[in-house]
């Protein structure tokens, strides 16, 4: 018979969700073990590059004084582009460059190790290089642990928290996630490029530890998705996300999309002379609120990307903060359920209620229609060109012809891109309803 060990809770995955769940449980005095397949937390984790740390304020007071940061984001830019034009809304804040900060670029192997270290300092156990291969259930079908790839040894606990990330095998095995639904996912690919710190400072208009976050629309050859460019200390991260089924239909290789973006006249000068350090690709659960699985079943909770909690809504690509928020809440709910001696789905239901009270489900619910709008054909394929032409019309000096009025320019741009003014008005209204 396979060996086993008993705990109050087993957390699968030592990403941001898993470490936060383990931290909450350990602080509550529970025996908790994290199982991580990588050799150390964060070793396998891919993301764009920016973490919004406000969620940490209550969990790790003054976290900014110790977190492994690359740069503090003081400039956020949203850029729309066509093949040879771009229009950006660029916001810069001095306040974001001083404590308590707003967002930071950080390397996941450092950030995840740091957060997992907080959990182990609080008493959580961490088992690395170990894969949870499946769920262990009791006679009544309740989840009572996980099986591992160490000779099938099992970890038993009244509650398992699945924080194994996007496409969660455990959530699927528990019947919480559909087996495969490609339309709920995008593929994110990114390159990390080496650039000296002074060159980054000069080209991006920052200094010291200041950093920049640029989100880009219209850079994916019409495939629903977007791009990003973030500055780290001595590297920059550039990447694209693209709807999985559309990418497959378009028969375009994702690295071609990054190559396009790097060659764009607005981006190429920023990256001149940069050398490739790494390339990575990962799925993102971008479906939002409507694609989230039930968050609890008997003996099990799901948190972070396993529960499709990345918020991808145009202006925002936030997943780590949602993973931390949901993981911590899952840990606390598990503790309450263990105390009450009821780890059934009902006993664990306080998890969802808690998430609804805070940003995790509140934001997702409010922005539930955002993914569909942001990934819609007009936003993706027509509006970037329309807005760039509109800007071009406004900023081009046409002497000796008199300046054209705004409405005329808008009409012309809309007609050129096949958008009816009625549709433009309807989409504006829809956007206001969703984001307003």
Ligand X SMILES: Cc1cc2nc3c(=O)[nH]c(=O)nc-3n(C[C@H](O)[C@H](O)[C@H](O)COP(=O)(O)OP(=O)(O)OC[C@H]3O[C@@H](n4cnc5c(N)ncnc54)[C@H](O)[C@@H]3O)c2cc1C
Q: Which residues of the chain form contacts with another protein (CB under 8 A)?
A: 3, 5, 33, 39-40, 43, 109-110, 113, 125-127, 130, 148, 150-151, 153, 155, 275, 277
Cα–Cα distance between 378 and 375 in angstroms, integer?
9
Which residue matches tokens 């202006």?
315
Comparing CB distances to another protein, the nearer of 6 and 260 is 6
Helix (H) or strand (E) holding 154: strand 154-156
**Residue 271 zone, left/alpha/beta (φ > 0; ψ -120 to 50; rest):** alpha
CA distances from 296 to 9, 304, 330, 348, 366 (A): 14, 13, 10, 7, 22
Q: How far is CA 62 from the centre of its chain?
A: 23
The correct pick among 70, 318, 354, 389 for binding ligand X (CB under 6 A) is: 318
Specify which residues 241 forms β-bridges with: 188, 226
Does 171 sit near ligand X (CB under 6 A)? no
CB of 349 to another protein, least distance (A): 31
Question: According to CB under 6 A, which one of 38, 218, 287, 293 is a site residue for ligand X?
Answer: 38
CB of 319 to ligand X, least distance (A): 2
Kindly state the DSSP code that residue 107 receives in the 8-state scheme. -
**Alpha carbons 270 and 229: distance in angstroms, whole number:** 10
Distances (CA, A) of 100 to 58, 94, 112, 150, 388: 12, 12, 20, 43, 36
Decide whether 241 or 257 has the Cβ nearer to ligand X: 241
Do 322 and 310 contact (CB within 8 A), yes or no?
yes
- Terminal CA-to-CA distance of the chain, rounded, Å? 58
239 binds ligand X (CB under 6 A): yes
Closer CB to another protein, residue 155 or residue 174?
155
Angle between helices 320-340 and 16-27 (to 10 degrees): 30
Residue 146 and residue 35 in contact, taking contact as beta carbons nearer than 8 Å: yes
Question: Is residue 80 a contact partner of residue 218, using CB atoms and an 8 Å limit?
Answer: yes
Residue 10 interacting entry, from ligand X, another protein, none, C-beta within 5 to 8 Å by type = none
Measured distance CA(36)–CA(91) in Å, rounded: 38
Cβ 10 to ligand X, closest distance in Å? 10
Residues 14-33, mask of contacts with ligand X (x by CB under 6 A):
xxxxx---------------
Residue 155 touches ligand X, criterion: CB under 6 A: no
Q: How far is the CB of 199 from ligand X (least distance, A)?
A: 22
For another protein, which is the closer residue by CB, 43 or 266?
Answer: 43
- Residue 126: which of ligand X, another protein, none does it interact with, CB under 5 to 8 A by kind? another protein
SS3 276: strand
Q: Is 45 in the site for ligand X (CB under 6 A)?
A: yes
Report the alpha-carbon distance of residue 145 to residue 2 in Å, rounded: 13
227 binds ligand X (CB under 6 A): no
CB of 148 to another protein, least distance (A): 6
Rounded to the nearest whole angstrom, what is the least distance from the CB of residue 73 to ligand X in the complex?
Answer: 10
- Binders of ligand X in range 261-290 (CB under 6 A): 282, 284
Residue whose CB is less far from ligand X, 85 or 186: 186
Q: 197 contacts which partner out of another protein, ligand X, none, CB within 5 to 8 A by kind?
A: none
Q: State the nearest-atom distance from the C-beta of 257 to ligand X, in Å.
A: 12
H/E stretch holding 108: helix 108-121
Nearest-CB residue for ligand X: 319
Taking the complex as a whole, the smallest distance from the CB of residue 5 to another protein amounts, in Å, to 6
343 binds, among another protein, ligand X, none (CB under 5 to 8 A by kind): none
Work out whether 8 is an interface residue with ligand X (CB under 6 A): no
Closer Cβ to ligand X, 126 or 323, answer by number: 323
**Considering CB distances under 5 to 8 angstroms, the limit depending on partner class, which of ligand X, another protein, none binds residue 190?**
ligand X
- Give the DSSP letter string of 31-83: -EEEE-SSSSTTTT----SEEEGGGGTTTSTTGGGTS--SEEEEEEEEEEE-S
Q: Give the footprint of ligand X on this chain (CB under 6 A).
A: 12-18, 35-38, 44-51, 131-132, 163-165, 169, 188, 190, 239, 241, 282, 284, 304-306, 310, 317-321, 323
């Amino acid at each position: 018979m396979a060996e086993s060990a008993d705990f109050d809770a087993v957390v699968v995955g030592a990403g941001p969700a898993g470490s936060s769940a383990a931290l909450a449980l350990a602080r509550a005095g529970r025996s908790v073990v994290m199982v991580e397949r990588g050799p150390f937390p964060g070793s396998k984790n891919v993301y764009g590059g920016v973490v919004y740390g406000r969620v940490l304020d209550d969990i790790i007071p003054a976290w900014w004084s110790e977190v492994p940061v690359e740069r503090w984001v003081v400039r956020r830019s949203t850029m729309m582009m066509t093949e040879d034009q771009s229009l950006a809304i660029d916001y810069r804040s001095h306040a974001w460059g001083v404590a308590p900060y707003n967002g930071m670029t950080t390397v996941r192997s450092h950030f995840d190790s740091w957060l997992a270290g907080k959990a182990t300092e609080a008493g959580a156990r961490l088992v690395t290089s170990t894969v949870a291969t499946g769920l262990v259930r009791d006679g009544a079908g309740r989840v009572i642990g996980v099986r591992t790839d160490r000779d099938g040894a099992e970890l038993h606990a009244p509650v398992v928290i699945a924080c194994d990330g996007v496409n969660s095998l455990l959530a699927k095995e528990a019947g919480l996630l559909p087996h495969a639904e490609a339309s709920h996912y995008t593929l994110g690919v990114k390159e990390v490029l080496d650039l000296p710190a002074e060159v980054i400072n000069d080209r991006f208009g920052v200094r010291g530890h200041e950093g920049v976050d640029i989100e880009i629309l219209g850079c994916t050859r019409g495939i629903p998705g977007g791009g990003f460019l973030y500055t780290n200390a001595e590297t920059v991260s550039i990447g694209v996300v693209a709807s999985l089924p559309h990418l497959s239909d378009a028969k375009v290789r994702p690295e071609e999309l990054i190559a396009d973006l790097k060659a764009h006249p607005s981006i190429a000068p920023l990256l001149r002379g940069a050398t490739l350090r790494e390339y990575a690709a990962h799925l993102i659960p971008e479906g939002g609120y409507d694609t989230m699985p039930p968050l609890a079943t008997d003996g099990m909770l799901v948190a972070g990307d396993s529960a499709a909690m990345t918020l991808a809504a145009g202006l925002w690509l936030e997943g780590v903060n949602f993973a931390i928020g949901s993981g911590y809440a899952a840990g606390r709910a598990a503790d309450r359920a263990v105390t009450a001696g009821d780890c059934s789905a009902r006993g664990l239901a306080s998890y969802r209620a808690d998430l609804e009270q805070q940003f995790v489900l509140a934001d997702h619910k409010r922005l539930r229609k955002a993914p569909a709008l942001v990934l819609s054909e007009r936003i993706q394929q027509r509006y970037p060109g329309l807005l760039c032409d509109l800007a071009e019309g406004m900023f081009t000096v046409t002497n000796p012809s008199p300046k054209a009025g705004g409405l005329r320019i808008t009409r012309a741009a809309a007609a050129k891109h096949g958008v009816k003014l009625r549709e433009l008005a309807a989409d504006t209204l829809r956007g206001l309803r969703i984001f307003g």
